[in-house]
């Protein structure tokens, strides 16, 4: 494990060398797929690369358009199957609120993610939700309920958009 964690949630919201960040995550995802003997076919790998191009979630049709433009076929199942594979393999996540998909920034690590979605610039950051999950298990457990799956998504403003909003408010003042 490297000292500087390119998949640090801060990364999504800060200026950074994203090519390095995406390359690192892709390498980890490939290693994980190989370790588990998954069939990481070219179309599946390409779908992950497309998701990794920016820290945001993409709809299945957006991914399909890209795959089709690159000659992977233009039938919706092409994209759906690739995305489903990625989600099932834990290499991507479904972001329910956006009805879209985001590359997992921690492939191969056991984690409960929380997605922080900027409502202004659509940036999506994946952060650790272990404390949230523990709190949820506690609340559910008190009711005799056992949680099997849970997703955590929050909508708000990222640091850059907050700064922009603050500037605009300051300018609006006389
Ligand atoms: Zn990045
Ligand atoms: Zn993840
Ligand atoms: Zn933003």
CA distance 33 to 19: 21
Report the separation in Å between the CA atom of 22 and the middle of ligand 1, taken as the mean of its atom positions: 6
Specify the pLDDT at position 8: 66
C-alpha 65 to ligand 1 mean position (Å): 23
Query: What is the average pLDDT value for the chain, to the nearest integer?
Result: 90
- As a whole number of angstroms, the distance between CA 6 and CA 16 comes to 9
For residue 53, report the distance from its CA to the centre of ligand 1, in Å: 8
- Of the candidates 92, 91, 95, the one whose C-alpha atom is nearest the C-alpha of residue 155 is 95
Q: What CATH number has the domain spanning 11-172?
A: 1.10.10.10
Structure tokens at 126: 């994946």
The position carrying tokens 């939700």 is 129
Using the mean position of ligand 3's atoms as its centre, give its distance from the Cα of residue 166 in Å. Answer: 13
Q: Is the pLDDT of residue 96 over 70?
A: yes
pTM of the model: 0.87
Q: For the range 126-135, what are the long-range contacts, defined as Cβ-Cβ under 8 Å and sequence gap of 24 or more?
A: 126/7, 126/9, 126/12, 126/93, 126/102, 127/9, 128/9
Whole-number Å distance, alpha carbon 174 to ligand 1 midpoint, is: 38
Angstrom CA distances, 146 to 6, 45, 88, 132, stand at 34, 35, 22, 15
Greater confidence (102 vs 151) lies with 102
pLDDT at 82: 96
Report the percentage of the chain scoring pLDDT > 90: 76
Which residues have CB atoms below 5 A from the ion given as ligand 3? 118, 120-121, 123, 158, 161
User: Ligand 1 centroid to 16 CA: how many Å?
Assistant: 6
DSSP states along 61-89: HHHHHHHHHTTS---HHHHHHHHHHHHHT
For residue 6, pLDDT over 70 is answered with no
| Percentage, residues of the chain above pLDDT 70 | 94
**Which pair of tokens denotes residue 35?**
């370790």
Residue extents of the structural domains in the chain: 11-172
């Amino acid at each position: 494990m490297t000292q500087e964690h390119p998949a640090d949630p801060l990364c999504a919201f800060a200026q950074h060398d994203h090519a390095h960040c995406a390359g690192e995550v892709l390498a980890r995802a490939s290693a994980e797929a190989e370790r588990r003997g998954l069939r990481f076919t070219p179309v599946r790998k390409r779908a992950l690369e497309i998701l990794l191009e920016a820290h945001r979630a993409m709809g299945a049709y957006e991914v399909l358009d890209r795959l089709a433009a690159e000659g992977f076929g233009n039938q919706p199942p092409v994209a759906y199957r690739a995305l489903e594979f990625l989600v099932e393999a834990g290499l991507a996540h479904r972001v329910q609120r956006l009805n879209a998909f985001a590359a997992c920034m921690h492939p191969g690590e056991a984690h409960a993610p929380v997605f922080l979605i900027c409502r202004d610039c659509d940036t999506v950051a994946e952060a650790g939700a272990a404390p949230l999950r523990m709190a949820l298990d506690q609340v559910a457990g008190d009711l005799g309920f056992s949680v099997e799956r849970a997703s955590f998504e929050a909508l708000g403003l990222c640091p850059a958009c907050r700064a922009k909003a603050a500037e605009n408010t300051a300018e609006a003042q006389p």
